[in-house]
Chains A and B, each alone.
Chain A
Amino acid sequence: MSATRTVTVASSQGLHARPAKLFVEAAQGTGAQVSIAKGDKSVNAASILGVMSLGVEKGDEVLLSAEGDGVEAALDTLEEFLKTDHDEA
């Protein structure tokens, strides 16, 4: 089973530093095989180095792809995560 979803990133620092770490933790927590792509570059969402190397900024569109069990639930979780600003507080 596989699925994809396009999400606009809301964190004011994009996916750097702390939000990148939190996103990778969330991706690992879903149990599904998730990749995240910006433009034509796609990386393993469980790789903090990969995610950081995408250089995702606030307002960028990213494409999430998931394979495995419960992909819709996994994508729901990650979409919710990306739509939240994790640099507040």
Chain B
Amino acid sequence: MSYDAQSAMKGTGIGQGIALGPVARMSPPPAAPKDESSTLSREQEAARVEAAIQAVAADLTARGQSAGGQAQEVLEAQAMMAQDPSVTEAVDAELAAGKTAEYAVHTAFAEVAEQLAALGGYLGERAADLHDVSARVVAALRGEPAPGVPDPGHPFVLVAQDLAPADTALLDLNHVLALVTIEGGPTSHTAILARSKGITAVVGVEAAAGLADGDEVIVDAAHSTVLLAPSQQQKDEAAARVEARKAAQAAPITEGALADGTPVPLLANLGSPDNAAEAVQLGAEGVGLFRTEFLFLSSETAPSVAEQRESYTTLLQAFPGKKVVVRALDAGADKPLPFLNDAEEENPALGLRGLRALLANEEILRDQLSALAEAQEATEADLWVMAPMVSTVEEAEIFSRFARQHGLKTAGVMVEVPSSALLAEQILQISDFASIGTNDLTQYTMAADRLLGSVSGLQDPWHPAVLRLVREVGAAGAATGKPVGVCGEAAADPLLAVVLVGLGVSTLSMAPAALADVRAELLRHTKEQAEAIAAAALTAPDAAGAREAARTAAASHSPE
């Protein structure tokens, strides 16, 4: 398979990064060897096995030495397993029966792994290690590259079918220039990892199946493309963008603002108190979305007020004097909780979820609000609470009443449903603020399940229909004097962030890794220019058109 050097492969870009480098493919596990009689002598096959096992053990040990720390322990233990006498005996038994070295290794390791798996627990988990060692030895016998995460000894662009959590755990991110997956969408494990670590990634690139080790590529997440065999000019442009991004990352951390000084506070999206310190370090001026699901997801029953208070207090202590927006439990649809809603629903995304589920289980909501109020009393942070998936004015009113009853000062709503975007002015007459969740707002506006790959093309927050709804909310904020934020993925796309500000959004909240890029982009445009860019995007017929129109409008006043 060959590619026109100028035709870029398309996928879904994660983040704004760009990278240039050689491809290293993650090899799939070798096909299982067939049960066939060997044409070699038993001694010859035994010698082949020994040489392959030695090579694999040496490779694992060497990789352990370069990795150091805990990874070294794991890899050295794997090297010992490869040479384990119980495995050697099982291999010998197969060879004695006249099998090939490949089949003997595969069968012997599988046998021992099965015994381990039967023991369960820690030992059961080691069965996976043995399967990995087995695949390595079989690949070595065949002269194939070792399966799993490659280690070419220099920085590389990792190309994989998709990445499992186990693969990424062993990935040395210092050597990974970019991630490209053939399968997987914007919600895949790879995408989540890339977003949280700020790694350049393009996912779901079908044509990347044709890439080979050593191919030189440009991975451009901002444009969702992978370019094979780039020209010198393209390489120079990419290198310049890599440098510009590095400069943005290294730029002094200032408070978020436009070129004319209009403040646009930049906040962090957090899913647990553990990431608070990192967010502060990257310049988060507070928290725009704290998801509370982590407290509930692993439990059969709702956590107690005391347990919740402890977690909220830990979080709030990291942000003295700063704004922290906590979202009430948002369960249902993609994150069902048995104690909240165990009904089988045909369309969970349109079912009893978000605030609807909380109002059907008032005690859970009241406990959460009590715990939050106690944490508010115990700390210096400026706590705001908001309700997930509000779709009526009445729901906004009920939530505000509950919050005040529990002594919470600032209560708002998430705008994720078109009905609340359209009635934002009525809602903001009651609620203290609105925060737009662009992922769900896009899903409900476009009637496209955000978890379904086949309609992922419609899940694009650049769509002018979505932007028009954002404009409604922005205008309602201006009319009522109430703040309007965005806490969806859209806020992490620098140019889209400018558009959102142009539409009347006053704060942006995102994964901390995205803060530097957004901060740098905002500084390039004045409020007036942001409004002009937004106006250009609104007139486009579709998402791609809106992106292009915004780019053109931005280029007309900015030297880049």
Q: Which residues of A approach B to under 8 Å, CB–CB?
A: 16-18, 20-21, 24-25, 44, 46-50, 52-53, 55
Contact = CB atoms under 8 A, between A and B. Distances in A.
Nearest to B80: A48
B394 to A, nearest CB: 56
Contacts of B112: 49
A16 B76 contact: no
B122 A49 contact: no
Contacts of A44: 85-86
Given A21-B73, A21-B77, A52 B126 contact: yes
Given A18-B73, A21-B76, A21-B77, A55 B119 contact: yes
A24 B115 CA distance: 20
A17 B73 CA distance: 9
Q: Is the interface of B mostly helix, strand, loop or mixed?
A: helix
Contact of B77 (A47, A48, A55): A48
Contacts of A52: 116, 122-123, 126
Interface in B90-129: 112, 115-116, 119, 122-123, 126
Residues of B in contact with A, size category: 10 to 19
B85 to A, nearest CB: 5
Nearest to A25: B80
A49 B119 contact: no
A48 B81 contact: yes
Q: Is the interface of A mostly helix, strand, loop or mixed?
A: helix
A49 B73 contact: no
Contacts of A20: 77
Given A16-B122, A17-B122, A55-B123, A49 B87 contact: yes
A25 B112 CA distance: 20
Contacts of B116: 49, 52-53
B128 to A, nearest CB: 14
B84 interface: yes
Contact of B80 (A16, A17, A21, A55): A21
Contacts of A55: 119, 123
B84 A49 contact: yes
Nearest to B112: A49
Contact of A53 (B76, B87, B119): B119
A48 B119 contact: no
Q: In the complex, which of the residues A17, A25, A52 has the most CB atoms of chain B within 10 Å of its own CB atom?
A: A52
Contact of B115 (A25, A47, A53): A53
Contacts of B85: 44, 46-47, 50
Nearest to B70: A18
A48 B84 contact: yes
Nearest first, the 10 A-B pairs at minimum CB distance are A48-B80, A47-B85, A49-B84, A21-B77, A47-B86, A47-B84, A49-B86, A44-B85, A18-B73, A50-B86
Q: In the complex, which of the residues A25, A46, A53 has the most CB atoms of chain B within 10 Å of its own CB atom?
A: A53
Contacts of B77: 17-18, 20-21, 48
Contacts of B123: 52-53, 55
25 contacts: A16-B122, A17-B73, A17-B77, A17-B122, A18-B73, A20-B77, A21-B77, A21-B80, A24-B80, A44-B85, A46-B85, A47-B84, A47-B85, A48-B80, A48-B81, A49-B87, A49-B112, A49-B126, A50-B84, A52-B126, A53-B116, A53-B119, A53-B123, A55-B119, A55-B123
Contacts of A16: 122
A24 B83 CA distance: 12
Contacts of A24: 80
A56 to B, nearest CB: 12
A70 to B, nearest CB: 20
Contacts of A48: 77, 80-81, 84
B113 to A, nearest CB: 9
Contacts of B73: 17-18, 21
Contacts of B130: 49
Nearest to B73: A18
Contacts of B122: 16-17, 52
A44 B83 CA distance: 13
A53 B76 CA distance: 18
Contacts of B126: 49, 52
Contacts of B86: 44, 47, 49-50
Contacts of A50: 84-86
Contacts of B80: 21, 24-25, 48
A48 to B, nearest CB: 5
Nearest to B123: A52
Nearest to A13: B122
Interface string B55-81: 000000000000000000100110011
Contacts of B115: 53
A24 B84 CA distance: 10
A16 B125 CA distance: 12
Contacts of B76: 21
A72 to B, nearest CB: 24
B87 to A, nearest CB: 7
Given A44-B86, A52-B116, 9 more contacts: A25-B80, A44-B85, A48-B80, A49-B130, A50-B84, A50-B86, A53-B115, A53-B119, A55-B119
A88 to B, nearest CB: 15
Contacts of A47: 84-86
A50 B116 CA distance: 10
